[in-house]
Structure 1
Amino acid sequence: MSLLQLQALAGLPLLCLLAWACGGFRRGVRARVVVAGLGGQLLIAAALLHVPPLRAGFALVGNAVNALATATRAGTTLVFGYLGGGPLPYAELTPGGSFILFFQALPLVLLVGALSAVLYHWRVMPLVVDVLARGLRRLFGLSGACNLSVAANVFVGMVEAPLLIRPWLATLTRAELFVAMVAGLATISGNMLVVYATMIAPVVPDAAGQLLTASLVSAPGAILAALLMRPERETPQDTPAVEAPRIYDSTMDAIVRGTADGLQLLFGIMAALVVFVALVALLNGMLEPLGGLTLQQVVGWVFWPLAFAMGVPVEDCATVARSLGVKVVVNEFVSYLQLAASGGAGLAERSRIILTYALCGFTNFASVGIMVTGMAAMCPERRAEIIRLGLPSLVAASIACCMAGATVGVLTVP
């Protein structure tokens, strides 16, 4: 094992200690939780990265993503013409200058939203989620509703997953509620996974498979980070028969409503990008006269030790930390976009892969607002509790994403 791998291996317990410290060193942390969390992350990552048949599945996932991108390009070309990726009516003077994010990359959300709804209606997604939920229940001993929400977060967003367990939200213990919130921020949804994989494919090998692995690895990591900060002190209600409810009346209804949900997400992403990039630019404009600082640099200093703990070489730590800072201050979309636009930001391939895993989560202030608003509407009787847990869940989810980065750092040879 190389020094960088040992660095990442030592970083995992340090990240656990950080989560425990952020929770105030509370008593009641069970050894089972720590062993299951760390062991689950390492076993899942090792299987997906080093077992040949599973590793070969990366290529299939990548092919599926390429097929979705090609199919979406056909639709955007018809509707938007050259703005959507069709033949240009003029000479492109600047390489890449014809690429328009809103018209060419983001519409992929619409197609994936429709397909996700169909797979849900056909009970394919609920079956996979149920298998994951049962595995998490054996590892951590949480209630069926909590495990279902965590497992669903591997494929859907931080509001959609709690929606699947809406009837049981009020019965979750405080620790389980916190686990559900952390898992929502520490993973990404399937539609965004496809978008990000398309964006970073030129600079990250097997991008789609890597992102899927990252989201799976983050599930036990999110539970671990959450229970280190808020240990379980109550007895979870046993809900073993929790089943994902039927939402759509037919396949056509799933396509129509899935597309509508995708459209809402598409405009939400566009609005968030415009507003938050503008706000960061405004704050940077106020900070720069004070010493040439930017908000990303300030947050990047905070993340430098975390980048080192993930097994990133010292010479790459500043770049990785800045990217993590952008993720928290703006969102992970901009971080992935910058990684792709910079051709890898001058990072070694191993550092790019670690960064890919660490960025794979909705850990930003805007997502916290979206999640808290959505969950409070679903369970108004626990609104005050959900709001209080909002910012702590961002801290725990950020640590969980760094755990995913450290896990791949342990398993990736320099």
Structure 2
Amino acid sequence: MNYFISILGLAVVFVLAFIASNNRKEIKYKNILFMLVIQLVLAYILLNTKFGLIIIRAVARLFEKLLEYAGEGINFVFGGLMNEGAYTFFLNVLLPIVFISVLIGILQYTKILPFIMRGIGFILSKVNGMGKLESYNGVASAIVGQSEVFITVKKQLGRLTSQRLYTMCASAMSTVSMSIVGAYMTMIDPRYVLTAIVLNLFGGFIIVSIINPYTVGSHEDFLEIEEAEKQSFFEMLGEYIMDGFKVAVVVAAMLLGFVALIALINNLFHLIFNLTFQQMLGYVFSPIAFLMSIPADEIVDAGGIMATKLVTNEFVAMEQLSKMAGHFSPRTLGIISVFLVSFANFSSIGIIAGAVKGLNEDQGNVVARFGLKLLYGATLVSVLSAIIVSFVL
């Protein structure tokens, strides 16, 4: 029965993407089918095989060690503020972003990261039927982040058509930044974080290939990566340390505001309608949870968490999921976890539009105009990844 519902879910996702397509004749069905098979195979390997378990454990152990090293710096600066054994979200989850940001800066400075991103992007362009720029951007978004990625391709922004710009923005919204992957792994099972990152990369290309299909001519298939401004090693370290700290503080501020606002709205809804705002959202999103083959007695709670992610951000939703983990079966927990690992939410529209506008004002205005369609596509990517995982759990 679960397989039947998951197949139905896939069909609904593709129909919803097809309805929003701006050029149905250009859709490359063969590439889409190939990437869908790749998603299923990768999900099975990562979640159901010994080889996948070894990879997951290795990556989880790597981030565990990185978080331990980050903890040394946090304890040195804030140790006196922490009670023995106490858990503080800002200190334990957000501040390690600073250290991860430093490591990304070092890999960028030594040219290791650009080499990896170009190489993987080139291989992906042979699979997805898109241009080298789009393929590079999908990989780069998953490593350097949804706003920072546009800095690396700012030379080309002014020459991009609105179609190519949509593809690049959709990739940025569908993925997550490696700098905060460690934070995610402290909140949900690391195997679902890693699986979601891989699936979202291909899922982004699949959905965009349906919603926004086009063919890149050989004369347009250019890739010019913006070289970082020449800096000394320690100048670079200082810049990435501050960038990481800004991300941590911004996320903390958004969480403070969103969590408090949701608490207020929940209270008001409970007084007026005798149900919380999240319960109401849960009923609205329950059909989507059903299409992920989540059991009927869990779809309302699951829908509420997914909706929370869409209207706030993934951190708020993950925090709620960790509190409600006991209400869900292990399979449902895995499906919801994969759905949550992306930047697909309303605030990302402003972040991406602002990032592009800061580099090219005209193109930033273009992004702002298709903002809702951007969120629509990125949300379908998250739903698709969750459905793919439902086949193998």
* Same structural fold, with TM-score higher than 0.5 when normalized by the shorter chain: yes
How big is the shift at 1:253? 3.1
How big is the shift at 1:248? 5.8
Aligned pairs (5 A) from 1:84-163: 84=82, 87=84, 98-163=86-151
Aligned twin of 2:168: 180
- Look up the SS of the partner of 2:187 in the other structure: helix
Q: Which amino acid aligns with 1:142?
A: M
Cα distance in structure 2, aligned partners of 1:199 and 1:250: 36
Cα distance in structure 2, aligned partners of 1:381 and 1:359: 32
Equivalent position to 1:382, from 355, 363, 366: 363
Q: 1:46-104: per-residue Cα shift (whole Å, max 9, x none)?
A: 343345334312111111121122222222222112534x637xxxxxxxxx3221233
Q: Which amino acid aligns with 2:358?
A: A
Aligned twin of 2:32: 34
Give unmatched runs, 5+ long, in structure 1: 89-97
Cα distance in structure 1, aligned partners of 2:150 and 2:384: 23
Deviates more, 1:394-403 or 1:33-42: 33-42
Aligned twin of 2:61: 63
Aligned twin of 1:335: 317
Question: Going by fraction, where is helix more abundant, 1 or 2?
Answer: 2
- Look up the SS of the partner of 2:142 in the other structure: coil
Aligned pairs (5 A) from 1:317-336: 317-336=299-318
Q: Which amino acid aligns with 2:140?
A: A
Aligned twin of 1:92: none
- Look up the SS of the partner of 1:155 in the other structure: helix
Deviates more, 1:318-327 or 1:123-132: 123-132
Q: 1:324-373: per-residue Cα shift (whole Å, max 9, x none)?
A: 0110111110111122233x142111111111111010111112211111
Whether the 8 Å contact between 2:350 and 2:368 is mirrored in structure 1 is no
Cα distance in structure 2, aligned partners of 1:145 and 1:347: 41
How big is the shift at 1:251? 3.6
Percent identity between the two aligned chains: 23
Cα distance in structure 1, aligned partners of 2:153 and 2:22: 29
1:223 aligns with 2:220: no
Cα distance in structure 2, aligned partners of 1:244 and 1:345: 47
- Look up the SS of the partner of 1:199 in the other structure: coil
Whether the 8 Å contact between 1:48 and 1:55 is mirrored in structure 2 is yes
Whether the 8 Å contact between 2:193 and 2:341 is mirrored in structure 1 is yes
User: Cα 1:333–1:234, aligned 2, differ >3 Å: closer, same or farther?
Assistant: same
Whether the 8 Å contact between 2:130 and 2:216 is mirrored in structure 1 is no
User: Cα 1:110–1:171, aligned 2, differ >3 Å: closer, same or farther?
Assistant: same
How big is the shift at 1:160? 1.1
Aligned twin of 1:411: 392
Deviates more, 1:305-314 or 1:213-222: 305-314
Aligned pairs (5 A) from 1:69-80: 69-80=67-78
User: Cα 1:120–1:223, aligned 2, differ >3 Å: closer, same or farther?
Assistant: same
Deviates more, 1:320-329 or 1:19-28: 19-28
- Look up the SS of the partner of 1:118 in the other structure: helix
User: Cα 1:184–1:301, aligned 2, differ >3 Å: closer, same or farther?
Assistant: farther
Whether the 8 Å contact between 1:83 and 1:100 is mirrored in structure 2 is no
TM-score, normalised relative to structure 1: 0.87
Equivalent position to 1:296, from 260, 263, 278: 278
Cα distance in structure 2, aligned partners of 1:11 and 1:299: 20
Deviates more, 1:227-236 or 1:403-412: 227-236
Q: What root-mean-square deviation, in Å, do the aligned CA atoms of Structure 1 and Structure 2 show?
A: 2.4
Aligned twin of 1:262: 244
Cα distance in structure 2, aligned partners of 1:120 and 1:289: 52
User: Cα 1:191–1:252, aligned 2, differ >3 Å: closer, same or farther?
Assistant: same
User: Cα 1:264–1:389, aligned 2, differ >3 Å: closer, same or farther?
Assistant: same
Aligned twin of 1:272: 254
Cα distance in structure 1, aligned partners of 2:119 and 2:159: 22
1:193 aligns with 2:144: no
Give unmatched runs, 5+ long, in structure 2: none
Q: Which amino acid aligns with 2:339?
A: A
User: Cα 1:70–1:181, aligned 2, differ >3 Å: closer, same or farther?
Assistant: same
- Look up the SS of the partner of 2:100 in the other structure: helix
User: Cα 1:161–1:44, aligned 2, differ >3 Å: closer, same or farther?
Assistant: farther
Q: 1:116-147: per-residue Cα shift (whole Å, max 9, x none)?
A: 11122222322322232112211222222221
Whether the 8 Å contact between 1:319 and 1:345 is mirrored in structure 2 is no
Aligned twin of 2:41: 43
Aligned twin of 1:4: 2
User: Cα 1:303–1:136, aligned 2, differ >3 Å: closer, same or farther?
Assistant: farther
How big is the shift at 1:284? 4.0
Counting matched residue pairs gives 393
User: Cα 1:216–1:254, aligned 2, differ >3 Å: closer, same or farther?
Assistant: farther
